[in-house]
Structure 1
Amino acid sequence: MKVIHKNAIKTIVFCVLLLGALFHFWNPWTSLRVDVRPREGGPIQEQIFAKTANLIGLYPDVPFHIKEAVAHRLAQNTCVCKADEKTFKVPLLNQFFPPVWAQNLQKAFLGNHPDPEGVKRHRTQEYDKFKIRSSSPADVLIVAEANNPLQYPSQGVEVQPLKTIIIPGLALKQNKRSNYLVNLTAELGTFDVAATVEGVFIKGGGEKHITLSGSRLSALNQQLQFVTYTSIVFHPKTADSVQFATEGHQAFFTIKIGHRTIPNLYNSGHSRDYNITALVTIATKTFLRYDKLKDLIDSIREYYPSITIVIADDNEHPQPVTGPHIEHYIMPFGKGWFAGRNLAVSQVTTKYVLWVDDDFIFTANTKLEKMVDILERTTLDLVGGAVREVTGYAATFRHTISVEKGGTEGDCLHIRLGYHHVIEGFPNCVVADAVINFFMGRTDKMRQVGFDPRLSRRGHLEFFIDGLGLLHIGSCSDVIINHASKIVLPWRKTDEQKAYEKFRYSVQSNLSDEIFYFKYRMKCSTSQ
């Protein structure tokens, strides 16, 4: 009896352990562990690099002649920041033709730093991490060899994370032989077939490497139409390098992996004409200039009585700013210029936001409809206008920005007066990289770029440098806003004006140098 009892206990314990093991391995909530750390390219990318290197420059014995007129336009490793040489002085020459000045950012920022080598190492480490994090197999150059019997999609294949697609366009174009064979290899996904074709043998279904073979080429090509790819490593935005090969030939293509882009649409109502109130919010930041702010609001109401005005205020002793369609947000004292921009833009609920300074004045020439029109009819994300001073001069502050790739010390930033080209259909508008402090932009794009809150006293071009490659920018000289007069005799300045100038023009240590040297990883810059 005792023996039977002991055997029963052993059986029960064994069953419990077995059920526990089965539950662990069959538990639907138990997921595959994957390495989501940033990583550089795998073996397939290494093969791509090697193959591309072998395909480029295969004819060292064939002489050639450089065409200088074209060669000088090619991108070269010429990351040098050089200022214009000083020439003889001519009155007003610099005003009409500003010289190019240069700055060594490494010297400016690291010159008085207590640990310059430590900062350089830290910047290098952060840059290496950034390159790994932001790189994608979709950015790798792939050269398709001539007369390759493999047919494959070179671009345009996309799959959502952990989803399955049929790979379009796969085929083999080969002369008659007794047996045909192809294989595919991936790193972040597996292959299978959505249907089978008689006479085609498949090895490796559900794995990262699959082989398909058969004696009839037509049957093999029919089978290739059903090859599927399944993403098995979750990543919201990446790409997989796929190798497609047959005897003596191999090709590479990328499959983009990522969520579909969710549109950010604004319901501004349907109207034949532009409803500015429904489409645009005016945003500004104020500090110690309530008199100027009142003049701005009064001028806006003269032309746009119901448009919403968002005000970010970091005064020490804030005063109430009231009225219809006004949103007044109080910030900590002296929080700063770009922090105020972030706050104001964050509260906008319309499709577009117009940025103005608190000492601007709307006039009959401040036609917001023109700005909306060009944004609605083009691919521009942001369009600037012109600011007219009391002298009558209207400034647009149009600049182009470019970056030349440098070495381990950093890149070169070049800022120049001017623009890229005139916009067809809008003769008073051009494409540029930076514009004046009076601009209208798509709200979602401006939030995407954002404003560095460390720039508390001064900052402007930094926003456009942050937006380089993200913002498509225009500038229209026929949309004009007035600038309140800055001409005040010293003995007539108020206490508020003196306090404002003290804050506005206070030295920000070497913050700007740090941003350009460390954040942007520039070694030098030139500007005009």
Structure 2
Amino acid sequence: MLINFRPWRATSHALKIPRALRGKFSMRTPLHPQVGSQDRTRCSIYCPTMRVSYKKGLGLLVISGFLLVVLLNSRSPGSGFGVDLRPGRINELETAIMEQLQDRLNDYNDISYHIKDDVACRLARNTCFCVADKETFQLPFSNLFFPRIKAHNPGLNFLQSHPDPEGVKQSRAREYSGVQMRSSSPADVLIVNEANSPLQFPSQGVAVRPLGTILIPGLGLIEETTSNHTVYLTATLGTFDVAATVERVSIKGEGKPHMILSSAFLSALNRQLQFITYTNTVFHPRTADTVQFATQGHSAFFTIKIGHSAIPRLYNSGYPKETNISALVTIVTKTFLRYDKLKDLIDSIRQYYPTVTIVIADDNEHPQQVTGPHIEQFIMPFKKGWFAGRNLAVSQVTTKYVLWVDDDFIFKADTRLEKMVDILERTSLDLVGGAVREATGWTSTFRHTISVETGGEDGDCIHIRRGYHHVIKEFPNCVVTDAVINFFMGRTDKVQQVGFNPRLARRGHLEFFIDGLGSLHIGSCNDVVINHASKIKLPWSGTKSEKAYKQFRYAQESDLHDETFYFTNRFKCMTSHS
């Protein structure tokens, strides 16, 4: 079974249990009957044979449970169905919506109109020009009293000096296309409601830049023949006008927030409605205006989104024929009292990726200089903390992707960063985690799902469970989840957008993914593995720095975490697997 899932096509439906049935069903099903204390006592006194059988059964149950855990941890997620996460493809439904809208726009092409130049010139033409004011005269302080508009073409000199201008233009276009596809949303698709009321209007997908002007698409009136047809338009953050006038249509309120249009001819009125413009007059970088569209007996409302378009953040990684990890990825880590482990990490990275930049955040009391090619070390105040170090390290990344590793990890042959880059390039995921192999051979991915339940005035409830949502099509060893282990690669801008709470000094990991819930689309692949340096030490064999590290690392911060969850995140309750 394959589900055609794209980030902007997904919908969620809350399953609500009727009040009368609440409490009659339980999500917990016992694996075996529970034995009461009295029954156990009776068996131990009067039935010694049964007691031995009970112990054997208990032992088999423990062993079976352990094997089940191993099986669940090691099983390939590819056994489930795959969900397609490739972004940006238009399905048949959206194609039908666009064709239907185009048919509506062509319904009244045979009716003539006259352009209003003063209004039409304000409409966006999907083109812009880099034009400066001409210098007419030069007087002392003339720029102060008569400032001129200067123009600068940032691409002109850059492309002229670049050895491969066409290649960089293609790379730029490819990056921009990827950003557009990943940032698109079903709420941006223009949908026009049929005239059921009998008003026809756009139910979503209408947007205007602050103080900008647009044509309102999809307005129409379908009603029985009468002596006169009249419609009303009312806005609160803007004004209406017409980009062209149609004969035999009366218009009142041009340039005002309330407009009345009337005509004895329905087709002429509908033709005029195709030229209605909306101009935002109250500046706000991100809001919406609720517009009323009405007749004498019917009324409808729709919104016009007001806001600046998001400025894309593109990364110039060149235009290589194959993946260039050094140009795409920066490895970041934070170190504290473990320079020996850090050296082993760097040596292992250089064995497989000799030219990848490594950024190190260091909050040691007596920092040691870490030298080498493509290494950047940033010194912080003593014991500034775990998340503060993450923030600093990530803030210095200039590549498209950032890879987080702990300073006691070791790269091996199956630490394939190319796999992580491939899945981020080909899907809508913002972040993908790998697996960490312990000295015992056990590997962990720390996959968890996170959900928030509305809780009222006292706060919400957050529920954290081990597991994942679904397998990713074409990547059978990868799944979609909400939290991953401390070895992950993410889009730099998305990781920086969520950030790390610098108050969490000694402990913190899941908190980042809680803050990113709703912002980050996360995956996990169990076939990209990094090793964890052995932590098996005899109690008396630890070095002075190792003992000091343990004192700092395992310091209590429960009050701070409770404050963060209660106040910052507004949670009153947290549930999770023990």
For the criterion TM > 0.5, the same-fold answer is yes
* Residues 77 and 405, structure 1, Cα contact 8 Å, conserved in 2: no
Name the SS of the counterpart of 1:295 in structure 2: helix
Question: What percentage of residue pairs aligned between the two structures are identical?
Answer: 71
Q: Which residue of 2 aligns with 1:219?
A: 268
Offset of residue 474 of structure 1: 0.3
Give deviations 1:160-212, integer Å, cap 9, x for gaps: 00011110111111111001000111111111111222221112221111111
* Residue 286 in structure 1 maps to residue 335 in structure 2: yes
* Residue 363 in structure 1 maps to residue 412 in structure 2: yes
Q: Which residue of 2 aligns with 1:318?
A: 367
* Residue 425 in structure 1 maps to residue 446 in structure 2: no
Out of 204, 210, 216, the residue aligned to residue 167 of structure 1 is 216
Offset of residue 84 of structure 1: 11
Name the SS of the counterpart of 1:517 in structure 2: helix
Offset of residue 226 of structure 1: 1.1
Q: Which residue of 2 aligns with 1:404?
A: 453
Matched residue type, 1:292: K
Q: Which residue of 2 aligns with 1:247?
A: 296
Offset of residue 83 of structure 1: 11
Name the SS of the counterpart of 1:496 in structure 2: helix
* Residue 330 in structure 1 maps to residue 391 in structure 2: no
Flag the 1:375–1:77 CA change in 2: closer, same or farther, 3 A: farther
Matched residue type, 2:284: H
Q: Distance in 1 between matches of 2:349 and 2:522?
A: 24
Q: Which residue of 2 aligns with 1:493?
A: 542
Offset of residue 91 of structure 1: 4.1
Q: Distance in 1 between matches of 2:364 and 2:451?
A: 37
Q: Which residue of 1 aligns with 2:257?
A: 208
* Residues 192 and 200, structure 2, Cα contact 8 Å, conserved in 1: no
Instruction: Map residues 74-93 of structure 1 onto 2, 5 A cutoff.
Output: 91=62, 93=65
Matched residue type, 2:531: N
Give deviations 1:480-518, integer Å, cap 9, x for gaps: 000000111110111101110000000114111111111
* Residue 387 in structure 1 maps to residue 432 in structure 2: no
Flag the 1:143–1:83 CA change in 2: closer, same or farther, 3 A: farther
Give deviations 1:45-92, integer Å, cap 9, x for gaps: xxxxxxxxxxxxxxxxxxxxxxxxx75499x999xxx99999778647
Offset of residue 147 of structure 1: 2.5
Q: Which residue of 1 aligns with 2:517?
A: 468
Name the SS of the counterpart of 1:406 in structure 2: coil
* Residues 166 and 227, structure 1, Cα contact 8 Å, conserved in 2: yes
Q: Distance in 1 between matches of 2:18 and 2:430?
A: 28
* Residues 83 and 526, structure 1, Cα contact 8 Å, conserved in 2: no
Give deviations 1:427-451, integer Å, cap 9, x for gaps: 0000000000000000000000000
Q: Which residue of 2 aligns with 1:258?
A: 307
* Residue 155 in structure 1 maps to residue 223 in structure 2: no
Matched residue type, 1:172: L
Q: Which residue of 2 aligns with 1:178?
A: 227
Offset of residue 412 of structure 1: 0.9
Q: Distance in 1 between matches of 2:239 and 2:382?
A: 57
* Residues 313 and 328, structure 1, Cα contact 8 Å, conserved in 2: yes
Q: Distance in 1 between matches of 2:534 and 2:349?
A: 18
Aligned length: 415
Name the SS of the counterpart of 1:243 in structure 2: strand
Q: Which residue of 2 aligns with 1:128?
A: none
Aligned-residue CA RMSD (Å) = 2.7
Name the SS of the counterpart of 1:152 in structure 2: strand
Offset of residue 289 of structure 1: 0.1
Name the SS of the counterpart of 1:392 in structure 2: coil
Q: Which runs of 5+ in 1 are unaligned?
A: 1-69, 99-137
* Residues 232 and 260, structure 2, Cα contact 8 Å, conserved in 1: yes
Give deviations 1:345-396, integer Å, cap 9, x for gaps: 0000000000000000000000000000000000000000000000101100
Q: Distance in 2 between matches of 1:335 and 1:96?
A: 42
Q: Which residue of 2 aligns with 1:126?
A: none
Q: Distance in 1 between matches of 2:396 and 2:16?
A: 50
Q: Which residue of 1 aligns with 2:397?
A: 348
Q: Distance in 1 between matches of 2:441 and 2:69?
A: 20
Offset of residue 96 of structure 1: 6.1
Flag the 1:387–1:236 CA change in 2: closer, same or farther, 3 A: same
Matched residue type, 1:463: F
Q: Distance in 1 between matches of 2:22 and 2:512?
A: 26
Matched residue type, 2:385: G
* Residues 194 and 200, structure 2, Cα contact 8 Å, conserved in 1: no
Q: Which runs of 5+ in 2 are unaligned?
A: 1-14, 36-57, 71-186
Q: Which residue of 1 aligns with 2:164?
A: none
What TM-score results when the alignment is normalised by the length of structure 1?
Answer: 0.75
Q: Distance in 2 between matches of 1:436 and 1:381?
A: 15
* Residues 192 and 202, structure 2, Cα contact 8 Å, conserved in 1: no
Flag the 1:94–1:518 CA change in 2: closer, same or farther, 3 A: farther
Name the SS of the counterpart of 1:154 in structure 2: strand
Matched residue type, 2:481: A
Give deviations 1:93-141, integer Å, cap 9, x for gaps: 589669xxxxxxxxxxxxxxxxxxxxxxxxxxxxxxxxxxxxxxx89xx
Name the SS of the counterpart of 2:241 in structure 1: strand
Q: Which residue of 2 aligns with 1:114?
A: none
Flag the 1:345–1:83 CA change in 2: closer, same or farther, 3 A: farther
Q: Which residue of 2 aligns with 1:188?
A: 237
Matched residue type, 2:511: E
* Residues 242 and 254, structure 1, Cα contact 8 Å, conserved in 2: yes
Out of 282, 300, 303, the residue aligned to residue 349 of structure 2 is 300
Flag the 1:522–1:71 CA change in 2: closer, same or farther, 3 A: closer
Give deviations 1:321-355, integer Å, cap 9, x for gaps: 00000000000001000000000000000000000
Offset of residue 215 of structure 1: 1.2
* Residue 459 in structure 1 maps to residue 459 in structure 2: no
Flag the 1:416–1:223 CA change in 2: closer, same or farther, 3 A: same
